[in-house]
Structure formats: structure tokens, C-alpha cells
Structure 1
Amino acid sequence: MQTDKIINHIVDWLKNYATKANVNGFVLGVSGGVDSGVVSTLCAMTGLEILLLEMPIRQKEDQVNRAWEHIEDLKKKFSNVKAMSINLTPAFENLHATFDVNDADFPAEKLAFANTRSRLRMLTLYYYGQINGLLVCGTGNKVEDFGIGFYTKYGDGGVDVSPIADLYKTEVYALSKALNLVESIQNAIPTDGLWDVERTDEQQIGATYPELEKIQKEYGTKAEADYEGRDLEVYKIFSKMNKAAQHKINPIPVCDIPEDWR
């Protein structure tokens, strides 16, 4: 993997896009994970105005600590980086009380509230982006965005640009090393941070990112009958999630009206 070429390419792409859009730079959320760590560093390398938001909602202390360790490291290296902590827990608690749904009657209630956390963060990013003339920068990778749809629609999926959406998770980790991110970020176990009880991505999905990447690279050229053992298990996981995520992966369907009806 030619990490230096990829890094320079993404930085130039971000800078050119912001220039053409006539904006000051980018705003993004920093979670303490490797994706946001890499993207925030690439954004900082553009030399444009960068605003990093840490947005806790009932957040685990280790996630907050990792996020701020990375933020402080980045601020030391780049004078164009600013950061804020926006505590969204009170807003989330008010929504939780306002909706007042009995989860016994609605089994999907916990998932709905997990997605609500992500959508609150999206609203926050767009607010601070608009008042500062900044684009919202996404942090999704290729497996999450185009493989299994492991993101929240109109949450962390609601962005203006996606600089690492063509990179697999293992490639993002490779960039984190090439960019010399703090060790805690490089070694962070992937988690979406949307649940009160810690749930890693692997626990939620049932497979690791390297396992999913192997299937995604072959998807469409190999069928279920071509797999056995653990590969077959992961193929079934990937296939099921990919099919369920088509409403995220594909453009919003529009009902076309015949011209002679107008």
C-alpha cells in the first residue's frame, strides 16, 4: 500500500473541494476511534480551518480520553486546528423522556435511541459547520459505507464529503501508522459508541473487519456455494447486512411521473 501517495491524494482532494465550494474548511466529530483520528489528521494537513467536536452522550471515559489525547496531539502539530466539547447528554435525556416509549411494546426502541445519538451529533456538526462556513467531513470507511451499511442514516451518514470511504478498515489502520497518530488511537478497538453497555463493532456484526473485507472484495464474483467454514459464516453475515442496507447505499428512490401526465 502506497500510504504517502494516498495521504497526499486525499489531502489535495479535500483542499480542492473546499476551495471550489468556497468554504473555510471542515468540521468533524472525533470519537476516539481510528477513522475519525485519520480523517481529522488529513483535514488538518490541508492547512484550512478545522473544527473538531467531541460530542459525548453518556460516553465511556476511555473513549473521551482517547479523543482528547488525539485532539491535543493534533493541536500541537497544526495551528489551524480548533476543538470544542459539546455535551449532548442533556439534549439526549430530554428526547428520551419526551418520546417515552415502552420498549416492551417496541423491540427496536433501543436501536432507535442508539441511532438518535448519531443523529443528534449530525445536527450539531451542521450547526457549527454553518455558522463557521465549514463542510461536514465524514469518517466512514468502505466496509461500513458500501459493504454492510454499518452507520446511521442521516446520522454519521449525513455528511458533505467522505474522504476515506474508498479505503478498507485495515487500510485506515495503515494510514494511522503512517500519520503517526497517538498509540491509543492506532490500537483502538472499533466501536460505534452508541450504546450504554460497551459493544464493539465485532460483537455487533459477528465478524472482524479483515474477515468482512475478504468477502466484500469477492462479493458478486463468488457465490455462497464457493465458501465453507468460517468464510461461509462471514459471507452469510455480509450478504444479509448488505441486502438490508441497500436503502442506505443506493440513492433515495424518486417516483418518476410520466411527462404526458403533466
Structure 2
Amino acid sequence: MFTSSHLAPTPLTSRYTQVPQQFSYNDASTRLRIMNLVRPLMPNAHPDNLNLLVTHICSTLTRMRRAGQLGPKGIQSTEDVFIGVGYDKAECYMGLIVNAPGALAVRCFFEGDRMETSKKTEMKPEAAIEELRIRLAMTLHRKYKELRDVKHKLSHRGLDYECLKCYRSFKTYGGMIIHLESGCCSGVDRDSLNALAAQCNRSREFILSEYEENLLDGDLEYYHGKVNPFFCPTCDTEVPRLSSLFQHVESRACSQTLEDGVMGTLRRFLANYV
């Protein structure tokens, strides 16, 4: 059970339009809504690292959509995303809530540290809400610090990944794939890499089936425009490029790694055939 009756609405500086029916993590208006909800709880956060946190939070909504938890129409308005209080048996918490009318459900997609409901009822309403707000802020800060530390470690890495075609080396595997997508190396560009990835025997585990044929033909954008044909095999986050998929994995936004399972298979496939 969720309620937002004790919460003053977060001031918004932008006028929102209705969001598309099928939400994706980089849908601008819903992403901005989440940013405006999170930012007041983290006033000292660096903008770049705050963007990492919001991307991580938005990826949860993407997973919920792909699992059918947001119904056939998804989020209908940015106002369907809000901060509220949830109750689970003897515990309560404050979190980011999504109202999905098509699924007849209100669901939490990022919750703060919980407290006993009995403790909340013993407190004055304003004090209880403030305590829950602090707990949510602490949870956000922990995730923020985790993502920031991973980013910092990546920035200090050596040149670990040699190009599959030339002598150049890169700090990240995703950076090396960006280099190949740019066409700097003879015979390889974004279209050829997409086609090659679609030939991997586990492609259905990281490429949406509706785009697979066009990736093979190298004419994806001609037929579909700008889309997100790739998705993380662990958290289902959808991304526009093969390099974006590897960058997502290297960001540690979820538990997927470069070496494990599908991504390890894809890397070995690319190494053999690029």
C-alpha cells in the first residue's frame, strides 16, 4: 500500500507534456521528472554522477515495463511518478513510486531504508515523514557513492583493451568498440559490427527480436529511426548502440560483467570474427 498524502509535491521548473506510452530509460520527460524528485534529496551531488544515479534508477522502470508490470500502455503522465510512503506488513518506507493505470497497480521502483510501522505511528506525522525522507536520502547517497566510485576506478585504469583491428589501446572495452564503430579501422564500422553481433548464437539474449533482421541487413535507422535495439542480459536496460551496451556493463549499473555469460560469449565472438 502506498500513500503520498503527507508529502508536499516537489517543485517542478518545467512544464511537462504527456510521455510516450512505451517508456524507455532515456525518455526525456520521465527522466527529468525523476531527476527533479531526486535532486532535492542530494543537493551536493555532482551533476555527472547524479546523472549516473538517475540512469540506474530509470533502468528499473525499463525492467518493469519489459516484464509487463506497467501494463500495455506504460506510464501515461510524468505525474504518475512520485515520492510516496509504502507499507509492507510491519514495515514502512519512503520511495520512488510509479502509478501504472494500465496494470491497475502502484509500484515502488526505488525504496529507502525501512522502519517499523509501529515506530512510525508513535511519532508525530511530520517527524515520521522527515525520518523516512532521511532514510530515502541515505539510500540514494549509498547508491550514488557506489556508482561514483566505479566511475572513478574506470577513469584511472590503464590502457587494457587493444583494438581488434589495429595497434591502438583503450581504457575500456566500450571505448574500443566506439573506435571501431567510428570507421577508423578499414572494413569495420557501426553497421558491420551490428550485423556481426546479430550473428552471435546468443544474440536473442541482448538484441530485441524486432530489430534483429534489420541489424543483419545494416539498415536499422533507415526503417526505424533512432531506437534502442540492444538490451542488457541481466537488467534489461535498453541502449542504442553496441558500444553503449558494453559501456553499461562496465559502469557496474547492474551485476553483469564483461567476462560472464552472454557478454563473455559476445566478446569472444567479436574477437574471432572482426
- Which category of TM-score, normalised to the shorter sequence, fits these structures? under 0.3
Which of the two has greater strand per residue? 2
**Bigger relative contact order (CA 8 A; separation at least 6):** 1
Q: TM-score, normalised by structure 1?
A: 0.25
Q: TM-score, normalised by structure 2?
A: 0.24
